[in-house]
A and B are shown apart, each in its own frame.
Chain A
Amino acid sequence: MTNPSAATATNVSKIYGHGDSEVRALDNVSVQFETGKFTAIMGPSGSGKSTLMHCMAGLDEMTEGSVTIAEIDIASLKDKELTKLRRDKIGFVFQSFNLVPTLTADENIRLPLLLGNNKGNEEWIQKVINTVHLQDRLTHRPSELSGGQQQRVAVARALASEPAIIFADEPTGNLDSTTGNEILSFMRKAVDELGQTIVMVTHDPVSASYADRIVFLKDGKIAGELLQPTPELVLDYMKKLGH
C-alpha cells in the first residue's frame, strides 16, 4: 500500500533570466514525498536539488507548476499564510547557522511554537528532546554548544511542532562523519519511531543511504529513483548517471 503524500510537486519549473540568458534550474519536475518516509534528494552541484527543496518548502517562488503541502496548494498563499504554513506544517534543518544565537537551546527548539503563540504538545516535545539527548543542554546558548549539539537542537526544533514534513538541507555538511552519522541516526529514528516525514538534500552517498528512497536530479530534471539504498548502490547508480 502506498502512503498518502505529505508533499507533492507537479510540473514545477524554476527559470532565471530571460531569452538567451535563460537558465532552467528546475525543468518540469513532478515528484511526491510519502508520509512517514525518509527521502533523500541527490544530484551534482547545480542539478537543482536545493532549488527543488526551496520551492517545495515555500522558501522560494517557482515559475510554473504547483506544490501541495499537507493538501494545501502553496502557490495560492500570501506571504503571511505561507509563513504560517512553514511555521506550523514544515520543519527545517539547514547546513549551518540553524539557531538564533540569543536564544537558549530550549527556546530554539520551541521557536516555531513560540512564534505561533502555541504551547504545543509537551509530552511530544520531551520525547523529541530525549530522542536527541539534549536534556542537560537546554539552558545553553548556541555559542556554548558543539557543532553536533547545535544540529541536534536544529533537528529537535524541526520535530517540535509535529510538522507534516521536515526539509533538511545538507544537515551534516559541516560536521565530521561520526557526528554526522549520529544526526542521521536521529533523523532515521524520528521517521521509524516517531512516524515523521523527512526530505533531505545531500550530495553524500553515505548520508543518502539512511533514507528509504533516493530521488536523483540532473540538470533540473528527475534522473531516476532508488529504493532501500546502500552506499554501494548509490555510488553505482551515480556512476550510471555519469558523475
Chain B
Amino acid sequence: MLRIALKGILGRKARLVLTSLAVILGTSFLSGTAVFSATLNRTFDNLFSDVFRNVDSYVRSTQVIEADFGAEERQRIPAELIATIEAVPGVADVQGDIQAFARIIGKDGKPLGSEGAGPPTFGGVGQEFKGALWTISEGRFAAGPTEVALDEASAKAGKYNIGDTVKVVAQAGSRDFTLVGIASYGDVRSPGGATFALFDLATAQEFLAKPGFVDAILISGDGSVSDEELAQVISSAIPGSYKTETLTGAQITKETQDQIGTALSFFSILLSTFSYIALGVGSFVIYNVFSISAAQRQRENALLRAIGASKKQVTRALMIESVVVGLFGSTIGLFAGIGLSKGLSALLKAASIDLPSGDLVVPSSAIVNTIVVGLIVTVASAWLPARRAGRVPPLAAMRETAIEVVALGRRRTLFGLFLIALGAAAIIAVTSGASNKWLGLGILFVFSGTITLGPVIARPVALILGKPAQSLRGVTGTMARQNSARNPKRTSRTASPVLIGVALVTAVAALAASISSQIDGVFTKQFKGDFAISTNARGFGGLSPSLADDINTLPEVERATGIGLLTVKIDGKGQYLTTINPATVEGVYDIGLISGSYSDLTPETIFVSQKYAENNDAKLGDTIAVTLADAQVKTLSIAGIYEFDDIAGKYTVSRDLTKDTTVITFDLGIYIKIKSGVSETAARTALQVAVDKYGQGTLLSKREYIDSQSGQINQLLGLIYGLLFLSVIIAVVGIIITLLLSVFERQREIGLLRAVGMTKSQVRTTVRWESVITSLLGAVVGIVLGVGLGWVIVYALRDQGLSSFSAPVGTTVSILIMAFIIGVLAAVYPAWRATRVNLLSAITTA
C-alpha cells in the first residue's frame, strides 16, 4: 500500500504541488516570524554586549520608578562619587555617564531620526576613557560648552563636516555647537539607527541633565583583581547614604539584554499570533484540497476496494500522502519563511518601526517547530477526508461520475446553532457583569459555530449574492451562480479562510474606528485653542518647556500652554502625572475643573479626577505622597477635582513641581489660542518661526491636530493589516486551488458547453463569477461576524474609557470591493485552464 500511495503522489505532481502550496504558505509565516524574532534578538544582544565590552564595573542609583509598559525611570547620582571611585585601588579609569534626550537638527533644518516610534535620539558623554565604546574616527572628542561630536551615521545624514555649526535640541532648549569630532561606536557607524550627540561631562550635565549629577558611573579596572572583586571594593567604598549599587560589566550587559528581550517579546508574540492565524486559515485550505482530491479519486479508491484493498488500506494510502505533502510543504515553507523574514523587516519599516538589521539567525527550534507543526496540521487536516475515502463502497467504481457527497445533516445545523448559542450566552454573560475572560471563549464559540453552519448558509447566501451576476451576465451568470451553490460544503470551506481574514480585519477596523472617534471627541471637548504643536516622542524626550513660554511672548498669541507627563511613585506603584502650567492652561485646554481653581495648583498641591475622588473617597485637602524619580517625596494636598480624565488620567500637577529636583520634564503638546483679529495665516507664520527655532515639534491647526491624534491608531492598524495580509494570500490561494480542482472535475461539462457554442471568454466569465461569488460569500459573512466581534471588544473595553462603538463603514466598503477584486484575480488562472479543456475528450464517452 505504501508503494501505491507513493506512486499515486508522484503520478500526480500537479496535485502534490497544489496541496503543498497551502502547507507552504501556512508554515512559511511560522518560520518567517521565528527567524525574524531570533534575528532581532541576536542583533540587539550583540549591540548591548558591545556597549559595556570594556566596562568592568557600573555604579548607579538604587532608586527607580517602574511605570506602565515596562518603562522605568532611575534617579541620578551625585557626580562627586567619581572622585571617590577614582581613589579605589584596582580602578584604572572612571567616566561619569549621561544618557538623555537630544535631537540633532540636520543642515536642512529637519531633525534627524524619526519622530515616531523609531530608534531613540541620544545625547551623552564622549571623552577619552579606557572603557569607552566611542572611538574617534575623525577630529577629536568635544571639550568645553560649545563643542559637540556626532556619531558617524548622524554626521553623514545631517551632511555635517568638522568645523560646521550643529544645532542640537535637548532639555535645556536648543543650542548651536561646533562639530569637532566624528565618532564610531565599536565597529559600527551608529548603534541600531539611534543618533548620538556627544559632549564633555560638564556640558552634558548642564545641557542634557542636571549640573552635579550623572546617570551612572562607568569604571575600567587595571586588571589586578577580578570584575567581581572590583565591584565589591567599589561598593564598600561608597557610603550607603548615596543609595547606589555596583554591578559588574557582565551583569549590566545581561540586564540590558534582558530588558530589550522583554520589549522585543511583544513583537514576537504579536508576530507568532498572526502566524498561527495564518496557519489556521491555511489548514482550511489543506482540508479542502484533501477533501476534493479524495472525492475526485473516488472511482480509483473504489476500484482498489473492489480488487481487495481494505478500508484501512485506502485510508492509510491517503494518510501517507498527507505525511509526504506535510513534510515536503513544511520544508519548503521553512525556506520560504527565511525569505519572508526579510519582508517582515520591510513591513515594519513601512509602519515606521525601523529596526537594526543583522545577519539572519535561523534557530533550530524554528526548524523543528515549522516542520512538526506543519506536519501535524497537514495530517490532521487529511484525516477526515482519508477516513471518508476508506468508506467508499466498491460499487462506486462502476458509477459514471464521482461527485462529492453533499449531504447536509440536521445534526450539523443543530451543532452549529448550539455553538453559536453557547458563544452568545458567554458574551451576554460578560455584558451583564461576568469577567471579560468569558469573552474570548464566547467569540471562539461563535466563530466555530458559524464555520460549522457554513455549508448550510453557503447555498442560500451564494444564490442571493449570485443574483446580480445572473441579471448581468445571462446564462453564464446563471451557471456561475449555480456552480457556487452546487456544492455548499466545498464553497463554504473555500470561503472560510476569506471569512476569518475579513472578520478579523473588520473587528480591528471597528475597534480602531471607535478609538479614533473617541479621541476625536475628547480633544474636541478639551482643546479650546486654534493651533497645537505636537511631538510623537512619547516617553523619551519631548518639547522643551521653554517653547511654550516663548510662544506666549508672541504678539499674535493670546495664550499658549504646554501639557506633559511625569513618572512618579505613589503608594509604591509607578504612576503617570499630567503636568500643566496653571498660569496659562485656562481657556486653552479644558480639564473640566469641578472644584478648586487653577490658581490653587502650586508645587505643594495636586488635582485629582472625579472618578479617583469617588473611588478613593478623597476630598479637597487630603494629601497624597508622591515619590519623584530622584527619590524626593512630596506630600501634595488635593486642591481641585476635574472631570475630563481621558487624557489627564487620575492626577494632574503643576509643571513647577519638579523645579528644584533633578527630574526633567518635557511638554508632549502645546496648545495655542491666537488673539482675535489675527489671521490664521499670520499666526501660523509667527508660530512656525518659534517652532523652527527649536527644530522640533510639528505645528498643526486644531483640526489637523485632532485628526493626527485620532489617526495615530492607523499606524498600528497598518501593521495589523499587513500581518493579516498573509492570511488573505492563503485565502486567495485556497480559492485558486478549489477552482482548479472544480474545473478539473467539470471537464466534461465545460467540453459540452464549448461544443454547443460557449466561447472561451464565456467560459472564463463563468469561472470568474463563481470565484467572485465565493469570495463575496466569505466577505459578507466575515463582515457580519467582524462587526459583531468589534462591538463586543469595544464593549469589553468600556472600563478603559472606550464609551461608544463606531461602525467601520469605509473599511467595510473597501473590503467588499477588495473581495470582488480578489475573486476576479483568483479566477485568472483557473479560468484560463478551463478554456484549455480538451473538447473531444470531454464529450466522448470514457
Contacts and interface: CB of A to CB of B under 8 A. Distances in A.
A47 to B, nearest CB: 15
Contacts of A97: 748-749, 752, 843, 845
Contact of A115 (B748, B758, B760, B845): B758
A15 interface: no
Interface residues of B, number: 26
A155 interface: no
B92 interface: no
Interface in B749-785: 749, 752-760, 762
B482 A59 contact: no
Contact of B474 (A79, A80, A101, A114): A114
A102 B758 contact: no
Contacts of A101: 486, 749
B759 A80 contact: yes
Contact of A54 (B759, B840, B845): B840
Interface string B399-416: 010000000000000000
B844 A50 contact: yes
Residue from A80, A98, A101, A112 having most chain B Cβ neighbours under 10 A: A101
Nearest to A81: B759
Contacts of A232: none
Given A86-B755, A157-B756, A95 B845 contact: yes
A102 B760 contact: no
Contact of B843 (A94, A114, A117): A94
Given A50-B844, A59-B839, A100 B479 contact: yes
Contacts of B839: 59-60
Given A59-B843, A95-B845, A103 B479 contact: yes
Interface string A67-99: 000000000000110011011100010111111
Nearest to A86: B757
A111 interface: yes
A39 B474 CA distance: 35
Contacts of B246: none
Nearest to A80: B759
B486 A102 contact: yes
Given A50-B844, A97-B748, A102-B482, A117 B474 contact: yes
Nearest to A91: B756
A23 B844 CA distance: 19
A88 B482 CA distance: 25
Given A84-B759, A115-B757, A116-B757, A102 B752 contact: no
Given A96-B845, A101-B749, A107 B755 contact: no
A60 B748 CA distance: 16
A201 B844 CA distance: 13
Contacts of A88: 757
B269 interface: no
B474 A100 contact: no
A100 B845 contact: no
Contacts of B840: 54, 59-60
Nearest to B486: A102
A50 B754 CA distance: 18
Interface in A123-175: 157, 169, 173
Nearest to B762: A115
B647 interface: no
A80 B752 CA distance: 16
Contacts of A94: 752, 755, 843
B755 A59 contact: yes
A59 B751 CA distance: 10
A114 B756 contact: no
B759 A111 contact: no
A83 B758 contact: yes
B749 A100 contact: yes
B760 A87 contact: no
Contacts of B754: 83
Interface in B707-755: 748-749, 752-755
B288 interface: no
B695 to A, nearest CB: 67
Residue from A80, A100, A115, A157 having most chain B Cβ neighbours under 10 A: A100
A83 B760 contact: yes
A111 B756 CA distance: 8
A86 B478 CA distance: 21
A214 B474 CA distance: 40
B756 to A, nearest CB: 5
Nearest to B475: A114
Contact of A107 (B478, B758, B762, B844): B478
Interface in B823-842: 839-840
Contacts of B753: 100, 111, 115
B483 interface: yes
Contact of A96 (B400, B483, B755): B400
A86 B845 contact: no
B757 A84 contact: yes
B834 to A, nearest CB: 14
Contacts of A99: 752
Contacts of A100: 479, 749, 752-753
A98 B749 CA distance: 8
Contacts of A107: 475, 478
Contacts of A79: 760
A81 to B, nearest CB: 10
Nearest to B751: A97
A130 to B, nearest CB: 22
B843 to A, nearest CB: 6
A86 B475 contact: no
Residue from A80, A96, A157 having most chain B Cβ neighbours under 10 A: A96
A98 B757 contact: no
A96 B475 CA distance: 22
A114 B762 CA distance: 11
A157 B753 CA distance: 12
Residue from A83, A88, A96 having most chain B Cβ neighbours under 10 A: A83
A54 B759 CA distance: 18
Residue from B753, B755, B756, B759 having most chain A Cβ neighbours under 10 A: B756
B531 to A, nearest CB: 63
Contacts of A117: 474
Interface in B368-404: 400
Contacts of B486: 101-102
Contacts of B474: 114, 117
A87 B756 CA distance: 5
B759 A83 contact: yes
A90 to B, nearest CB: 8
Residue from B486, B752, B760, B762 having most chain A Cβ neighbours under 10 A: B752
Nearest to A79: B760
B354 to A, nearest CB: 54
Contact of B752 (A60, A98, A173): A98
A100 B749 CA distance: 6
B757 A112 contact: yes
A28 B758 CA distance: 31
Nearest to A95: B845
A222 B105 CA distance: 95
Contacts of B757: 83-84, 86-88, 111-112, 115-116
B475 A92 contact: no
Nearest to A85: B757
B399 to A, nearest CB: 13
Nearest to B758: A115
Given A92-B756, A100-B753, 13 more contacts: A60-B839, A83-B757, A84-B757, A94-B843, A96-B845, A102-B486, A103-B475, A103-B479, A107-B475, A111-B475, A111-B753, A115-B475, A115-B758
Interface of B: 400, 474-476, 478-479, 482-483, 486, 748-749, 752-760, 762, 839-840, 843-845
Closest 5 CB pairs of A and B: A87-B757, A102-B482, A114-B475, A112-B757, A83-B759
11 contacts: A59-B843, A79-B760, A87-B758, A100-B753, A102-B478, A103-B479, A111-B753, A112-B756, A117-B474, A157-B756, A173-B845
Interface of A: 50, 54, 59-60, 79-80, 83-84, 86-88, 92, 94-103, 107, 111-112, 114-117, 157, 169, 173
